[in-house]
Each structure stands twice: as structure tokens, then as C-alpha cells.
Structure 1
Amino acid sequence: MTDPRDGAGVGALEAIYDSLPPMRCAQQCWDSCTTFPVNALEHRNIRDQTGVTLTGGRARPGQSIPRCPALSFANTCTIYAARPLICRIWGMARGMACGYGCVPEGGHIPDEEAIILINRVLLLSNDPAATPETALHQLLQSGEVYQAAVAGGMLIALGIDPLARYKGEPR
């Protein structure tokens, strides 16, 4: 793991980003952009590249889901060049397919690959608040059972007990 303040961490992060297949974006999916947790490494990368410090978003009129704080009033991404992995894999993974028909070159990446990439970034960030276990917990809380099961399998492959946080808790 690297220190999120270390330039090597940013280089490894960029290598992960560069490993993604190219995709032509129709720039219509802004309505899917909401607030999201950003680990320390990606947060620093966004701030260093764009000068933007992400804070909580506000809900759109008539909706309860907060709007991404990086969206401009014209619904364009103000941090696009430095956007975090979750934004980069939107539309690329089968389970996160673009509703507007955008498909990456070579087709969608398997959900398992997307989860591996997410876990690699979380482990790279060395952020105690952003761990693979936390990602699994968030998937379970959101009701994404299939993706939680795949994430659990990835954690086991990494030698991490995916249920450790739940052991001993009353049911």
C-alpha cells in the first residue's frame, strides 16, 4: 500500500485508470451522477489536478438523491480529467451499463473485473475509511446482492474475511 500523499500512489492510480478500455461518451448520463465516497488518494488527485475539493451535493428539485458536487450548472463534469474510478467504470461494467447505449471498445468489462479494480484502488489509497470491507458493506446496504456476492469472493481471493465486520453482531 502507498501513502495517499505519495506521488507513487498517484502514478499507480493513473496506471489503473489507463488500463480501462476507451469509450466514446454521449455525455447524457449526468442524471446518474450523485454524491459518492472518494478515498483519500483519489480526493487528493482530484484536488491537485483541478483545484476542486469535493463536498456534499444538493438534491435536485423534486428528488431526494443528492446531485454530484462536481457537476456544473450546464450538467458537465468539472473534474472529468481527474474523475475517480467509480465514474470511469460507469458504463464500462456489465452491471453498470450506460442507459444511453455507450459501450467501451471491445465490449463491457465483467463486473468481477470492475470490483477487482475498485478493490485495487481502495487498497492503494491506504485510507482506513475506504477499505474493500467498507465497499462490501456499502453494496450490502444498497441491496446490490449479486455485486456484494462477487465482492465477497474477491475479498476471499485477497485473503480477507468478508464477514469479519459482522461476526459477533446480533441478527
Structure 2
Amino acid sequence: MAKKSVFFRQKIPSFECLPDCHDCCGPVTTSSEEMARLPRKSVAEQTHALENLSCPHLADKGCTVYLERPLICRLFGTTPALACPHGKQPEMMIDKAIEQQIYQFFKETRQVLV
């Protein structure tokens, strides 16, 4: 499973978000494998983030786990299904076949709330 996750991470195109924008940063689900790469947050931090419809890894200066962010976070803005609310996107959107494989991966793996 880890190899699939790494493969998908390499296939999702990147682009530059608007500075200080965190409109796509909210509670998301991610695989147990991806979650294991992220720092543990306390129950209080998790609860506070959920109450604010935010991510516990979001700080004043942005994502504190950006390089290890889950696949779902990487997908935002790279597909019409998860479009950036500000119209930002990579030069070339994600390949439809890869996107479908990622959604299948989500269905096949145990998902937990970040």
C-alpha cells in the first residue's frame, strides 16, 4: 500500500496557491498509512480543529505538514471535482485515470479523520 501512496503523490501535479489562503484546509479523511507520517495531535487540538472546521495541522503561517500532507490535500485544485475556489490550478490538471485510481485507493484503505 505504501508504494501506491508514493506513486500517487508523484502523479499529482503541483501549483502555487494564493499566499495565506487556506480555503481548502479543513477536516479531511486520510489513510492510516498517511496519518502515521503526521505528528500526533492531542484530543483537545483535534476537537478544536473540528469545531472550527479546520485542520489540526494548520498554523498561522500555513500547513505545518505540507511536505507530508495527505493525498486528498494534494488533489485540491488539480481536478474539477476539487476545484480551487480562487481558480488556481496547475498548467495541466491531474490525469483522469490517475484520479480514479486515487479514489479507488481511498475506498480500499482504512480512512481516518485528520
TM-score range normalised by the length of the shorter chain = 0.7 to 0.9
Pair 1:102 & 2:102 matched = no
Q: Which runs of 4+ in 1 moved over 4 A?
A: 110-113
SS in 2 for 1:16: helix
Higher strand share: 2
CA deviation digits over 1:76-124, x for unaligned, max 9?
A: 0001000001100001110211122211122x3377753431322553x
Higher helix share: 1
Q: What is the 5 A alignment of 1:16-165? A: 16-46=8-38, 52-54=39-41, 56-58=46-48, 65-72=52-59, 74-106=60-92, 108-109=93-94, 113-123=98-108, 125=109, 127=110, 130=111
| Structure 2: segments with no counterpart, 5+ residues | none
Contact 1:13–1:121 under 8 Å retained in 2: no
Contact 2:15–2:90 under 8 Å retained in 1: yes
Which structure is higher in RCO with an 8 Å CA cutoff and minimum separation 6? 2
Q: Answer with 1 or 2: which has the greater Rg.
A: 1
TM-score when normalising by structure 2: 0.74
TM-score when normalising by structure 1: 0.52
What value does the CA root-mean-square deviation take over the aligned residues?
2.7
- For the residues of structure 2 that align with 1:57 and 1:91, how far apart are their CA atoms? 27
The structure-2 alpha-carbon separation of the partners of 1:17 and 1:57, relative to structure 1 and needing over 3 Å to count, comes to: farther
Contact 2:37–2:68 under 8 Å retained in 1: yes
Identity %: 24
Give the aligned partner of residue 6 of structure 1: none
SS in 1 for 2:23: helix
The structure-2 alpha-carbon separation of the partners of 1:53 and 1:97, relative to structure 1 and needing over 3 Å to count, comes to: same
| Structure 1: segments with no counterpart, 5+ residues | 3-8, 47-51, 131-171
